Amino acid sequence: MGVIPYTITAADKERFDQDGYWISPKLLDDETIEQLRGAHERIWKKDYDGAGMPLHVFKLSENPHALRKFDNGWWINDEVRSVVTDPNLGEMAAKLLNEDEIRLWHDQVIYKPGTSGQETAAGNVGWHQDYGYWRSSSTTNMVTVWIALQDTDLNNGGMMTILGSHKWGAVEGSDTFFEQDMVKLKQRFATRDWIEEPCILKAGQASFHHALTFHGSSTNFTDQPRLSVVAHLMPGDTFYKEGRARHDNVRLLGPRPQFGQKFDNEFFPLLYSK
């Protein structure tokens, strides 16, 4: 169980800097992939490890094709915890972001049902920037690691990123994960070159995208669910930025958080330190 080590090359870093995303080699062996698929099954049955409580579980609607997602799976599942806090993941993120330390901001366990060919937007993830939700963080230099638990392409609702969009800065109103009209969102955000790049992954590969990179995903037309585990990672010295932008992580700083307070307590485990 764990992430296979990989040393980021200069070419990988160049790709990440230029495009705002990078696709890794296979980081999970087949046994770990199976364990994480089992973890998904347990989580959706509410079979939790430990005595903790989940933060919240999102099922976007009662529609059977609706996306399901679970934030902070690491609190209640041992396999998810072992992967999203893995030092090898932290080291890769540190190299891509040019940081000395990496902590977990939060994770997500995402399940997109298959529609067996039916056209529906119920499983869509709207074009958005992750930082659109993370404005309480002192830095935009954060990265999302999206790990595929099966071969993933556009046929089963894989992600697409907008090449180079991390250079656009934090775009107003980009917290649109839950909006499902991709065409409408594109009209809103495609004010510059809009180049959609599919993230095509083999099981166990991950895409690393910058917190400012626009991305989204559409229908899973297959008859199998699309499963993933996602780690959102930040520099070790990230702190609560003035402005009161709402995010549940601010609550994890305690009842009277201070602007400038670092997200460095036990809710934000350290993955890597140089």
In the bound complex, what is the minimum distance in angstroms from residue 209's beta carbon to ligand AKG?
7
* Terminal Cα-to-Cα distance of the chain (whole angstroms): 23
Question: Judged by CB under 6 A, does residue 159 bind ligand AKG?
Answer: yes
Query: Is residue 134 within 8 Å of residue 211, measured between CB atoms?
Result: yes
Q: How far apart are CA 153 and CA 167, in angstroms?
A: 25
Indicate which single residue of 75, 215, 233, 249 sits in contact with ligand AKG (rule: CB under 6 A).
215
Question: Judged by CB under 6 A, does residue 130 bind ligand AKG?
Answer: yes
Nearest to 210 by CA among 233, 193, 229, 189: 233
The b-or-e profile of 182-209 (16+ CB within 10 A means b, else e) is beebbebbeeeeeebbebebebbbbbbb
Nearest to ligand AKG of 184, 274 (CB atom): 184
Nearest to ligand AKG of 76, 84 (CB atom): 84
Total residues interacting with ligand AKG, rule: CB under 6 A: 12
In the bound complex, what is the minimum distance in angstroms from residue 124's beta carbon to ligand AKG?
8
Question: Judged by CB under 6 A, does residue 230 bind ligand AKG?
Answer: yes
In the bound complex, what is the minimum distance in angstroms from residue 125's beta carbon to ligand AKG?
4
DSSP annotation of 113: -
Residue numbers at the binding site for ligand AKG (CB under 6 A) = 108, 110, 125, 130, 144, 146, 159, 177, 215, 217, 228, 230
